[in-house]
């Protein structure tokens, strides 16, 4: 069911969350992924404070998200250029 409260555990801490549009299974999967990211941040930095680890993990995730968005924008722009070229070519052929 969507928009339900979910009891989750992230990095050993239990909390109740409600994320719009996500199922309980999806929320639990995200919690597991966040725990894994925090574990990785701990191994790479030796930061012991879970709050700091959560911030580091969030920053890493945002960085990845921004990189993906930038890559998608590059692809979109390339596709737009190709489409514009195709339209121009078709218009030229139709005018002949």
pLDDT for residue 5: 86
Q: What is the pLDDT of residue 4?
A: 74
pLDDT tens, residue by residue, 24-83: 899 999 999 999 999 999 999 989 899 999 999 999 999 999 999 999 999 999 999 999
What range does the domain containing 45 cover?
A: 5-95
Is the pLDDT reported for residue 19 higher than 60? Answer: yes
Q: Considering the entire predicted model, what is its pTM?
A: 0.73
CA dihedral (35, 38, 39, 41) in degrees, to 10, reads: 160
The confidence score (pLDDT) of residue 96 equals 80
Least Cα distance to 13 among 29, 40, 31, 33 occurs for 31
- pLDDT band at residue 1 using 50, 70 and 90 as cut-offs: low
- Please count the structural domains in the chain: 1
CB count in 10 Å sphere of residue 73: 10
């Amino acid at each position: 069911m969507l928009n339900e409260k979910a009891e989750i555990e992230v990095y050993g801490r239990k909390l109740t969350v409600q994320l719009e549009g996500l199922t309980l299974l999806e929320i639990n999967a995200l919690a597991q992924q966040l725990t894994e990211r925090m574990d990785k941040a701990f191994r790479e930095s030796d930061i012991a404070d879970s709050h700091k680890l959560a911030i580091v993990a969030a920053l890493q995730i945002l960085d990845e998200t921004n990189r993906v968005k930038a890559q998608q924008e590059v692809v979109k722009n390339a596709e737009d250029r190709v489409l514009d070229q195709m339209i121009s070519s078709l218009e030229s052929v139709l005018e002949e």
